[in-house]
Amino acid sequence: MSKNSEHFDLQVNDFGKNFIWGVSTAAYQIEGAHDVDDKGPSIWDDFTSKKGNTYQNQHGNDACEFYHKFQEDILLMKKMNIDHFRFSLSWSRILPKGTGAVSAKGIQFYNDVINFCLECGITPWVTLYHWDLPLVLEEKGGWTNREILGWFQEYVTLCANNFGDRVKNWMVLNEPMVFTGAGYFLGVHAPGRKGLRNFLPSVHHAVLCQAAGGRILRNLVANANIGTTFSCSQISPYRNNRRDLKAAERADAMLNRLFIEPSLGMGYPWDTIPVLKRIQSYILPGDAENAVFDFDFVGIQNYTREKVKHSYLVPYIKAKIVKASKRKVRATLMDWEVYPPSIFNMIKRFNGYEGVKKIIITENGAAFEDEINKGGVHDKERLSYLQAYLKQVHRAKRGGLKVDGYFVWTFTDNFEWAEGYYPRFGLVYIDFENQQRIIKSSGKWFSHFLGTR
The answer to whether residue 322 sits within a structural domain is: no
The reported pLDDT for the residue numbered 177 is: 98
Count of CB atoms situated within 10 Å of the CB of 266? 15
DSSP one-letter code for 408: E
Q: In a 3-state reduction of DSSP, which class is residue 194?
A: strand
> Is 80 exceeded by the pLDDT of residue 76?
yes
DSSP one-letter code for 39: P
Over residues 245-258, the mean pLDDT reads 98
175 is an active site residue: yes
The answer to whether residue 323 sits within a structural domain is: no
Looking at residue 236, which CATH number applies to its domain? 3.20.20.80
> Is 50 exceeded by the pLDDT of residue 5?
no
The reported pLDDT for the residue numbered 140 is: 98
> Is 50 exceeded by the pLDDT of residue 236?
yes
The answer to whether residue 278 sits within a structural domain is: no
**Residue pLDDT, tens place only, 133-170:** 999 999 999 999 999 999 999 999 999 999 999 999 99
Q: 3 pLDDT band (50/70/90 cuts)?
A: very low
The active-site residue, picked from 249, 261, 337, 363, is 363
Using CA atoms, how far residue 160 sits from 20, 84, 119, 143, 247, in Å, is 23, 19, 20, 22, 42
> Is 70 exceeded by the pLDDT of residue 121?
yes
The reported pLDDT for the residue numbered 439 is: 98
Per the structure, the count of domains in the chain is 1
The answer to whether residue 258 sits within a structural domain is: no
The answer to whether residue 257 sits within a structural domain is: no
The answer to whether residue 252 sits within a structural domain is: no
The answer to whether residue 271 sits within a structural domain is: no
**Of 172, 158, 190, 189, nearest in space to 128 by CA:** 172
Over residues 226-251, the mean pLDDT reads 98
Q: 265 pLDDT band (50/70/90 cuts)?
A: very high
Over residues 376-383, the mean pLDDT reads 98
Count of CB atoms situated within 10 Å of the CB of 151? 22
> What pTM was estimated for this model as a whole?
0.97
The answer to whether residue 186 sits within a structural domain is: yes
363 is an active site residue: yes
Identify whether the C-beta of residue 362 lies closer than 8 Å to the C-beta of residue 341. Answer: no
Over residues 353-360, the mean pLDDT reads 98
Q: Whole domain around residue 363: which residue ranges?
A: 3-240+287-305+332-450
Half-sphere exposure of 146 (CA within 13 A, CB side): 6
End-to-end CA distance of the chain: 20
The reported pLDDT for the residue numbered 2 is: 41
300 by Cβ neighbours in 10 Å (0-12 / 13-18 / 19+) ranks as: buried
The reported pLDDT for the residue numbered 280 is: 98
Over residues 305-329, the mean pLDDT reads 96
d(CA 412, CA 426): 4
d(CA 372, CA 362): 28
Query: What are the residues whose beta carbons fall under 8 Å from the beta carbon of 260, sequence distance 6 or more?
Result: 230, 298, 350, 353, 356
The active-site residue, picked from 175, 249, 261, 306, is 175
d(CA 360, CA 24): 12
Q: 7 pLDDT band (50/70/90 cuts)?
A: confident
- pLDDT-above-70 percentage for the chain: 99
d(CA 253, CA 271): 10
> Is 90 exceeded by the pLDDT of residue 296?
yes
The reported pLDDT for the residue numbered 184 is: 98
Phi, psi of 12 (to 5 degrees): -60, -35
Mean pLDDT of the chain: 97
